[in-house]
Structure 1
Amino acid sequence: MNIRFEDGTYESEVKTVLENYNMTTNYSIDCNTGSVGNKYYIMADKDNRDIRCELRKGMEEENKDWIISSSATGIRRGDSYVIAVSEQAVNDEKFLSILNKYDTRVKKFVWCYIRFEKPGGSRYWIPEEDAVKMKNELENNESIFTVSIDYINDQ
């Protein structure tokens, strides 16, 4: 299971979230290790379409991919949208100047990979129904943006 937390979330907080869920399955946590996609994001007020329009216009003019296409509209969180941005964007002066105009800052996702384990430490499979229930409950946590279930066949 891959979980995308908001910037500034510490591994101890991740453990607390999972402990509060009262998981009965053994698991291990790896945060921000290895290659993870969508490392960066911005928060845009849901009522402020100007920043999103200006970013799209800038992308077209510069012929650059600043916004990750699968998240062009963003993930709704309260009164804001979480919009994943490319690494190219966080190093682009025009992109950063648009953000400055709207007093918006680039943040970094905290990615955590949860691996379910048998008591001996080997991989553990959980039923899809349990995984989906866990995903839905975890996504209700304010510090979690997304939860994705990673199905790997061990054979």
Structure 2
Amino acid sequence: MTTNYSIDCNTGSMGNKYYIMVDKDNRDIRRELRKGMEEENKDWIISSSATGIRKGHSYVIAVSEQAVNDEKFLSILNKYDTQVKKFVWCYIRFEKPDGFRYWIPEEDAVKMKNELENNESIITVSIDYINDQ
């Protein structure tokens, strides 16, 4: 039996977020960013669930809006040919056709999570409200 879901995705309430992707083997840029933050006494890197996520051969590092407007931060990125990119947090709610919300079988959830995370523009997926029956 197949269950169809509609997906309601709300991105409007989260504001702009920024990230950089750094090759997992490039410790120099990470070292220089940490040193720059200490010298400038600024928080360029945001500690969050998106900080340090491994995506292929890179780490995704969330950065602050302060960082994307900071000349020293941008000069470090330029030195390593790294660009700031925007992302949004997207909350997805699954609804069954009968209107029952917040329910998805674990098998379907894992399958959707894996499919979504194979898309290079999607950083990470978390699933809540799994029905384990």
Mean CA deviation greater in 64-73 or 46-55: 64-73
1:37 to 15, 32, 36: 15
Mean CA deviation greater in 63-72 or 30-39: 30-39
- Segments of structure 2 that go 5 or more residues without pairing to the other structure are none
TM superposition score normalised by structure 2: 0.74
Deviation at 1:144, TM superposition (A): 2.4
Mean CA deviation greater in 61-70 or 115-124: 115-124
Secondary structure at the counterpart of residue 131 of structure 2: coil
- Segments of structure 1 that go 5 or more residues without pairing to the other structure are 1-22
| 2:113–2:127 Cα contact (<8 Å) kept | yes
Cα deviations by residue, 1:107-132 (Å, 9 ceiling, x for unpaired): 01143332111325563422456535
Mean CA deviation greater in 103-112 or 122-131: 122-131
| 1:67–1:84 Cα contact (<8 Å) kept | yes
Mean CA deviation greater in 93-102 or 73-82: 73-82
Cα deviations by residue, 1:48-99 (Å, 9 ceiling, x for unpaired): 1111100011111111111112369622222221111111111111111111
User: Identity, % of aligned pairs?
Assistant: 93
Deviation at 1:37, TM superposition (A): 7.2
Paired positions, count: 133
Mean CA deviation greater in 81-90 or 117-126: 117-126
Mean CA deviation greater in 51-60 or 133-142: 133-142
TM superposition score normalised by structure 1: 0.65
